[in-house]
Structure formats: C-alpha cells, structure tokens
Amino acid sequence: MTRTLLFLVALLAVPTLLVAQDSGPKIPDGILYQPDIVFGKGGDTDLALDIARPEQLDQPAPCVVFIHGGAWRGGNRKLHVPQILEFAKRGFVAATIQYRLIPTARFPAQVEDVKCAVRYLRANADKHKLDPSKIGAVGFSAGGHLVMLLGVMDKADGLEGTGGNPDQSSKVNAVVAFFGPTELGASDIPARSVGLVNDFLDSTKEENPDVRKTASPITYVDKADAPLLIFQGTKDPLVPHTQAFLMADAMTKAGMPGRIELLIGAGHGWDQPELNRTIEGTAAFLAEHLK
C-alpha cells in the first residue's frame, strides 16, 4: 500500500460511524447543541470543540469527549457530531474536539491539544453543566491512542502544553479506545504502519527510540489510572491485536481497572451488528464508571 492509501484506510476506519452533515446536523428535541467553541490555543492556532447536552439538567451531568482518528494527520471533529448528540440524549454532556494534525504539527502537539480540551471543560464546568469529576473519553484509531494517554498520564508526566487553564487536571476518569496503538516502539507494529508512526513522531525508531516510549500509553500505566475498555479486531492490518495484549499485561501487573474485548476476524473498524453492540458497550462502560 502507498502512504496515501494507508491514510485513507485510517481516516475511513469506522465509516458507518460517520454521518454526512451536508445541511447541518439534525438536533433532537430537548438537546442543546453548541458548535465551534474555542477552548484554547495550539501554538498560534485556535482550537475548537462542539458540545451537546440535555437542555434541562437538574444537576451537573457526566461528560464524554470524542476524539477522531485519521493517523494523527486527518479526520475532523465534525465526524462525531452524531455521537455527541446521541450521548446527549442518554444524559451526558458530550463534546467532539479538534487537535492539530501532521505535518503542520507533530508530536506532542496532538497530546497537548486534547489535554487542553479536558482542562477547558473542567474550568468551564458550571457553564456547560458538567461534573468535572466525571469526564470520560472515547477515541478511534489515532484518537484511541490519544484517549488512552488522557486516562493514564498525570500532570507530572508532562506534555501539558500551554493552551490554557493550567490550574486544571487533564486526566479523565474513564476511557474507551477503539483499536488504538498502545506501545509505539513495539516490534509488532506492522511495516505498513511504521511510516505513519515515524511521521507522527518526526523520527524513525533508530533515530529516536526514547520518543516512542514517551508517546506510548503503556509507559504510564499504574493502579490509580482511569478504567479502560479497549475494543480491538484480531485481523486489524494497522494496529495488531497484540497491542491490546501488551496493554492488558501492563494493566494486570499494575492492578489498573478495565478490560480488553477482542472482535474475532474484525479489522480496523467494523460494521453492523458489532457496531451497535460496541457502541452500546461504550455507553454502558461510561455509565458504570461515570454515573
């Protein structure tokens, strides 16, 4: 495969999750949808999110942040507007967020940006009627990698950036990752994905092995981390299911809560009926740990 084709595969990994919004999203009754809210800065770039919630809330609601995939170089937060509207119907405050993409910005810009979004939400909890102690994150592919970092990294681990609200924590309280890589320096990364990782980290493994450790969720696992659910296909050509095994081993040794679910024969994304089942599983996991 060419790198262009690899990019398209990664970008379109979950096609049935992506709903065309040519005429704008259809807002369900009783839901407040606020698009294009600037939440901070990524370098000189204004970063924005879209947020949805029930119009009537008697008390602060748990929040869930959606992070798109696309090999750290493609995709758009608008792809997950249907999901934030759906989760708002389920009683969550839900946001889909922007982060800088390569080659314009390389690691750790993407991590800094998603951390900035979580800090913004906590700093503006009253405004958006969310509970700052109950923030979850859901991500797909590269977004799965980023949400895992949100769940395992503490402020002392770094990569906070300077995007805003430095007094707030960027660590989330529950994570669901769909086929996200867990250890970027591992030998099981397939040849077709090595170039994508090299571009993200702006170096090869030989040139800078340490940056792969810094960028890998598995590096930061400990007992106090957020509960984590990983959905992973066993025939994924970009992120092998052994990446999930590596994370499961690290979680077991550390006593970190969560589980790994393998979808036998599934690739880098899946269609119905597994799609609905895994989305329902996502909602149940977040409700268990946030509600």
Q: How many CA atoms lie within 13 A of 46 on its CB side?
A: 5
Of 47, 80, 176, 173, nearest to 122 by C-alpha is 173
Contacts of 122 (CB under 8 A, 6+ apart): 132, 135, 165, 168, 169
| CATH code, domain with 119 | 3.40.50.1820
- Domain boundaries, position 191: 3-290
Mean pLDDT of 127-154: 98
Report the alpha-carbon angle 268-273-274, nearest 5: 40
Q: What is the mean pLDDT of residues 48-67?
A: 97
Structurally, how many domains does the chain consist of?
Answer: 1
Average pLDDT on 221-242 reads 98
Mind listing the pLDDT tens digit for each residue in 142-174? Answer: 999 999 999 999 999 999 999 999 999 999 999
To the question of pTM greater than 0.75 for the whole model, the response is yes
Under the banding of pLDDT at 50, 70 and 90, the label for residue 23 is: low
